[in-house]
Amino acid sequence: MSEIKIIFIETDGTEKIVENAKLGATMMDVARANGIDGILGDCGGGCACATCHVYVDPAWQAVVGNPDEIEEMTLDMAGEVQANSRLSCQLVLNSEMDGIKVTVAPLV
């Protein structure tokens, strides 16, 4: 398997399914390439801007794990942060994530 499925829920509730997300890419790259609303990725994946903030579906939280200290600090500035918040630029896709569901966080 070199590709997985990701289900994005945009802030207005629209569901967008990407079937061919490449393993090893970041979720932010996939979202930008597929025009997911609200995933901007201004800093290019540097964990510096929090414009790629998502809420990971609780069923998938164990698979993605917790943010590291640096990501937590950037998330702290983001606003609207929840226990399942992650920056999608820090989520490198692996085969266990096939079918993962995330909701795009609103930009504050």
Give residues in contact with another protein (CB under 8 A). Answer: 40, 42-50, 70-71, 73-74, 76-79, 107-108
Q: Which of 26, 28, 15, 20 is nearest to 1 (CA)?
A: 20
Minimum CB–partner distance for residue 73 and another protein (Å): 5
Minimum CB–partner distance for residue 17 and another protein (Å): 26
Cα 62 to Cα 108: distance, rounded to the nearest angstrom: 27
Q: Which is nearer to another protein, 36 or 50 (CB)?
A: 50
Minimum CB–partner distance for residue 68 and another protein (Å): 8
Q: Which is nearer to another protein, 49 or 101 (CB)?
A: 49
Rounded to the nearest angstrom, the gap between the alpha carbon of residue 80 and the centroid of all alpha carbons in its chain is: 15
Q: Which of 4, 31, 27, 1 is nearest to 16 (CA)?
A: 31
Q: Which is nearer to another protein, 18 or 40 (CB)?
A: 40
Q: Which is nearer to another protein, 7 or 81 (CB)?
A: 81
Cα 44 to Cα 86: distance, rounded to the nearest angstrom: 16
Minimum CB–partner distance for residue 49 and another protein (Å): 6
Cα 33 to Cα 53: distance, rounded to the nearest angstrom: 16
